[in-house]
Structure 1
Amino acid sequence: MQQTKDVVIRFSGDSGDGMQLTGTLFSDTSALGGNSIATFPDFPAEIRAPQGTLAGVSGFQVHIGSEKVLTSGDYCDLLVTMNPVALRANRKWLKKGATVIVDADSFTEAAVKRAGFETLDPFAELGISDYNIIRAPISSMTKDALAETGLDMKAANKCKNMFALGICFCLYDMPLDHTESYLRRKFAKKAAVAEANILALKAGYNYASNTHIFTTTYQVPPAKLPKGTYRTISGNVATAWGLMAASEKSGRPLFCGSYPITPATAILEELAKRKDLGVKTLQVEDEIAGICTAIGASFAGNMGVTTTSGPGLSLKSEALGLAVMTELPLVVVDVQRGGPSTGLPTKTEQADLYQALWGRNGECPLVVMAACTPSGCFDAAFRAAKIAMEHMTPVILLSDGYIANGSEAWKIPSMSQYPEIHPPVVTEVPDGGFMPYKRDAERLARSWALPGSPGCEHRLGGLEKLDVKGSLSHDPLNHQRMVDLRAEKVARVAEFIPEQEVYGDKSGDLLVVGWGGTYGQLRTAVDMLRADGKSVSHCHFSHINPLPKGVEKIFSKFGKIVVCELNMGQFADYLRTKFQQFTYLQHNKVQGLPFTVVELTDHFRALLEDKK
């Protein structure tokens, strides 16, 4: 038994091979053992691609460590592949000398050819013959282990992922009890199926243990995390929970009107489970209906929410203008994916920033924020809802496919740590009567009068309104004033958010700038370079419009600024409009994949050496 600081494991196979579940169970077991974890589910875009083809390869990567891990890892120490095409698709993610477990039964001549190999020796063709290759007959051994269960061959074959998981548990000295409990709960009404999967799990563990297929087994010690109660949580689930927490703190019931869209659907699904908390959800017929029902619910006194991805945000743009004009609180969660159009539905990207900032007609400012980590989605969603309700404005919260589907260990907070939210709800008619656009002097937020409140009757809509009174107005000077007020209201949000911080030295040779879901990779790369004595710091943004205070001062103290983002430079361009005195270098990637720490550190070293 050898202890190791961290390992990266990647499970891969056809869409129907159960790799997502296998990876999730391995991750959960690691987390229960006290490890820090970060995961990366890598889904195929096609719902059911032809079996054994590149288009249908599904993967799940998990990074576990005895110290805090911020990324799902660049390259894997262990690759579990259920067929030849999964091996071919994931060769590029192998560390030198990695262990590769393959289902030898699936490496038939037909399958090897179908995967696109030119020879019948895929290992030699991929240049990994000298790696630690474990050719285990997983399918046949699973069927043998379940021979007396009464399951037919097709049903028995579906348990092979549990056999593979058992092998991995043996390699990393992990217990089986959590997975056994999960299977019994999942198949509570199908006891035979539950026991068959458990039998396959134990058979895989015993096979690895009794045949000594590994010369060395490993153990990752528990991470030294702050005391508390932890659970694994994905970004989408954390977003839903953060919204519910804000609803509780504000006293406003939560309404979510959404149309299902990858990769945001899980937020709607999670909210739909919580009728016990007063959450109302409506799965509507299209994206426009989603945002319009949320705006209507907001007018009625609810905390209005709609969830979407890039194509859906395009469709919501007109109604977003209505929310800006009516000055109603609204949270729009955009889980970004590869685009344009349908693009790469299951792959990550950060290319909706321009659309979030400016994708509406007219002068139409609103607050734009970004979540940075899976567990951080909770706080981001809470803050977005707080700003929306206290400032009476729409807020777009940008997430992305990487952090939305990824998960990590999360210390469950006490709600006493979170502030109360005070929406400006009108409880009695003010002296002089209710004026719908009379504003709070500090925030410039108008009051929120709920329908049916005596003496507070008023009209809202998309036509311009007269300042204070709220009647229709086409007066040029009034329009100018209302445009100015709406812009100033959003700008004043900067007074209520924390000043921008810099990680590392306050001055130096290179400042790495990022926003949103690139946080983990950028912070890890900066830590590695700082450990080597390099003068590098990190400035990461979660508030985008308005930008926090202190940015100009931070930027002025560094020799070079490099902006890293999963698009062609949208945030860098935005910063150029705000702080034109600085030169912004860029590092961009639009491959449907997150940054790797290796590519970042290589680029930063080159910048420090003046090679780029």
Structure 2
Amino acid sequence: MDKTLEKEVHDVVIRFSGDSGDGMQLTGTLFSDTSALLGNGISTFPDYPAEIRAPQGTIAGVSGFQVHFGDSRQLNPGDYCDVLVAMNPAALKANRKWLKSSATVILDGDSLTEEHLRKAGFKTLDPLAELNLEGYNVVVPDITTMTREALKELGLDNKTVVKCKNMFALGICFFLYNRPEDHAKKYLESKFAKKNPLIAEANKRAIDAGYNYAANTHQFANTYTVAPAKLQKGTYRSISGNVATAWGLLAASEKSGLPLFCGSYPITPATVILEELAKRRDLGVKTVQAEDEIAGICTAIGASFAGNFAVTTTSGPGLSLKSEALGLAVMTELPLVVVDVQRGGPSTGLPTKTEQSDLQQALYGRNGECPVVVLAASSPSDCFHYAFEAGRIAMEHMTPVILLTDGFIANGSEPWRIPSMADYPAIVPPIVNEAPEGGFMPYARNEKLARGWAFPGKPGLEHRVGGLEKDALKGSISHDPANHQLMVKTRAAKVAKVAEDIPAQTVLGDTTGDLLVVGWGGTRGHLQAAVERLQAEGRKVSLCHFNYIDPLPAGVREIFAGFKRIVVCELNEGQFANYLRGQLQEFAYEQYNKCEGQPFTVVELVENFESLLK
């Protein structure tokens, strides 16, 4: 091949894949960040193995990172990839099904040994024929060998040298898509500046070696350019859902004037929120890594009683353990935000895979009549907004709030326009500083039905909190039947009243039509892409996507009434559909469900919607 031609394309999907120790997450992140700095819209999907130490070279140990970048905002990380970088046969086999018909496959030729092929489950010594890849553009450079050759003068041991092969693959992709190397090299310099500058130099040389290999060998018929996206003016950065959640909580702390306390137990995939908050002592944040999930939420409840904006973070199994203490927060009517980053279940389930199967637990998973506000974020960047909202509602309405995210948006990233805090409202909790005439009544309520928040240590504001039922005004223990009935209804009415303090429900598309697609939480990107594809074909399809779950926003009934059919799409077996059947019983609900630990694909959604339209 004598000449490489340059083509302009609108969007590209690349999947980096290899053993969990091959550095695919870093490789994908550096490529994504470089594309974001060039102004491209990006959406990423890190895909981690579920086993901590899966046998090397096996499909169970394959780690992947998919990035979708283009000349417009990317709503999802893409269904199928234009380029697959596979560092071993297992990565190739695991990702064969995600190749587009015209895809380029870059496979490390050094990994094609009998042992690697056997571990990956190949029956022959020809994986390309076995996987029917004859029609694809398959490039098999000896990445490991060339990495060793490029770094031989540095005097590093073989293990350290081989670890740099992911940067060789990154260099190939930088050439293929006309990406500059500067950002990646600066990152490597800062990462290893104190530990070992020689390792930084080795990785930088590996990037150059990969780039030069692709440029000089003419293995690729084309290189590609992707124009910057036309995004709203502002300052942008790439952000993951977990980091955005942490920052949204920080913003709520700032706007309330109260210090942030986070008591949590590390759990995949929520741990990064705790880690991110632990970095911000400069902002007055207090974090406690508790010995277990129960201790995490109990320290947060105590901190709330003491006058902090209190948060605890977890995933599905941890939410189960927190349920009793969450009931305590409901009974004491203290503000608390519980962030649940959902993952595949039940039990330990699929720790690194995504799902939306904690909804019923969030809504009902406590003893007694125990209502809490439930919100759900729908993209990595809007985790910031809904974390802020969770804090605002919790503090102003004196109630626990569960914020649902999921592994897909928590680990994924996209460009985020950094907001001005002047655009966010002040949070005004009902703090009581002085006893009113006649004495302090801890369960006297304001127009939001929120009780007063009196911090300990203030004369005249002494009061009891605890798990036993309280008198409707005094807060003293009460076993009176009529009082209990009143308090049950009041706590429910307080949560229902939050509907007056949130935006009305909106719809993407016309307010009447043949099919209304309904979703919630982290499925928005795929659902919106599928709906917009059908709308472009003239189909009468609209999307109604929910972020406020309990209570439901105003206007839902009117929206639903405008469509002939309603299909509820979610990554579980129908939990939101069943919730809607209870809330809005006059409508019939179709369902499209998936429980594979993977997000929807736009292709499967379009096929389902088309079948319903027939």
1:432 to 423, 438, 457: 438
Residue of structure 2 in register with 1:36 after alignment: 41
Give 1:97 shift. 2.0
Residue of structure 1 in register with 2:471 after alignment: 466
1:493 to 485, 498, 506: 498
Deviation readout 1:462-514 (Å, 9 max, x if unpaired): 00011111111100000000001000000000000000001100100000000
1:225 to 205, 222, 231: 231
Matched, 1:560 2:550: no
Deviation readout 1:73-108 (Å, 9 max, x if unpaired): 000000000000100000010000200000000111
Q: Secondary structure at the match of 1:148?
A: helix
Residue identity in the other structure for 1:460:
V
Residue of structure 2 in register with 1:109 after alignment: 114
Matched, 1:262 2:268: yes
Residue of structure 1 in register with 2:523 after alignment: 518
- Describe how 1:560-599 pairs up with structure 2 within 5 A: 560-599=565-604
Counterpart CA distance in 1 for 2:257 and 2:73 is: 36
Residue segments in structure 1 that go unaligned for 5+ positions in a row: none
Give 1:30 shift. 0.3
Counterpart CA distance in 2 for 1:26 and 1:185 is: 17
Deviation readout 1:245-265 (Å, 9 max, x if unpaired): 000000110000000000000
Counterpart CA distance in 1 for 2:10 and 2:325 is: 50
Residue identity in the other structure for 1:414:
S
2:390 to 381, 384, 393: 384
Counterpart CA distance in 1 for 2:403 and 2:321 is: 16
Residue of structure 2 in register with 1:66 after alignment: 71
Q: Secondary structure at the match of 1:186?
A: helix
2:489 to 475, 481, 484: 484
2:544 to 522, 528, 539: 539
Counterpart CA distance in 2 for 1:30 and 1:55 is: 30
Residue identity in the other structure for 1:17:
D
Residue of structure 1 in register with 2:136 after alignment: 131
Residue of structure 1 in register with 2:306 after alignment: 300
Q: Secondary structure at the match of 1:316?
A: helix
Residue identity in the other structure for 1:41:
P
CA RMSD of aligned residues (A): 0.5
Counterpart CA distance in 1 for 2:475 and 2:117 is: 70
Deviation readout 1:276-315 (Å, 9 max, x if unpaired): 0000000000000000000000000000100000000000
Counterpart CA distance in 2 for 1:372 and 1:242 is: 14
Residue of structure 2 in register with 1:145 after alignment: 150
Residue of structure 2 in register with 1:82 after alignment: 87
Counterpart CA distance in 1 for 2:94 and 2:341 is: 26
Q: Secondary structure at the match of 2:156?
A: coil
Residue identity in the other structure for 2:405:
S
Residue of structure 1 in register with 2:339 after alignment: 333
Give 1:454 shift. 1.2
Residue of structure 1 in register with 2:480 after alignment: 475
Residue of structure 2 in register with 1:175 after alignment: 180
1:52 to 53, 57, 62: 57
Give 1:431 shift. 1.3
TM-score by length of structure 2 reads 0.99
Q: Secondary structure at the match of 1:16?
A: coil
Counterpart CA distance in 2 for 1:376 and 1:164 is: 32
Counterpart CA distance in 2 for 1:403 and 1:604 is: 24
Give 1:212 shift. 1.1
Residue of structure 2 in register with 1:208 after alignment: 214
Residue segments in structure 2 that go unaligned for 5+ positions in a row: 1-5
Q: Secondary structure at the match of 2:187?
A: helix
Residue of structure 1 in register with 2:3 after alignment: none
Residue of structure 2 in register with 1:369 after alignment: 375
Counterpart CA distance in 2 for 1:77 and 1:431 is: 71
- Describe how 1:350-369 pairs up with structure 2 within 5 A: 350-369=356-375
Q: Provide runs of 4+ in structure 1 moved above 3 Å.
A: none
Deviation readout 1:213-236 (Å, 9 max, x if unpaired): 111000111001111110000000
Counterpart CA distance in 2 for 1:42 and 1:270 is: 21
Q: Secondary structure at the match of 2:222?
A: coil
Give 1:68 shift. 1.1
Counterpart CA distance in 2 for 1:213 and 1:224 is: 33
Counterpart CA distance in 1 for 2:248 and 2:116 is: 46
- Describe how 1:264-283 pairs up with structure 2 within 5 A: 264-283=270-289
Counterpart CA distance in 1 for 2:268 and 2:516 is: 34
Residue identity in the other structure for 1:158:
K
Determine what percentage of the aligned residue pairs are the same residue.
72
Q: Secondary structure at the match of 1:505?
A: coil
Counterpart CA distance in 2 for 1:45 and 1:393 is: 35
Q: Secondary structure at the match of 1:17?
A: coil
Residue of structure 1 in register with 2:410 after alignment: 404
Counterpart CA distance in 1 for 2:485 and 2:204 is: 69
Q: Secondary structure at the match of 1:217?
A: strand
Residue of structure 2 in register with 1:242 after alignment: 248
Counterpart CA distance in 2 for 1:608 and 1:123 is: 40
Residue identity in the other structure for 2:210:
G
Deviation readout 1:426-449 (Å, 9 max, x if unpaired): 122111111100000x20000000
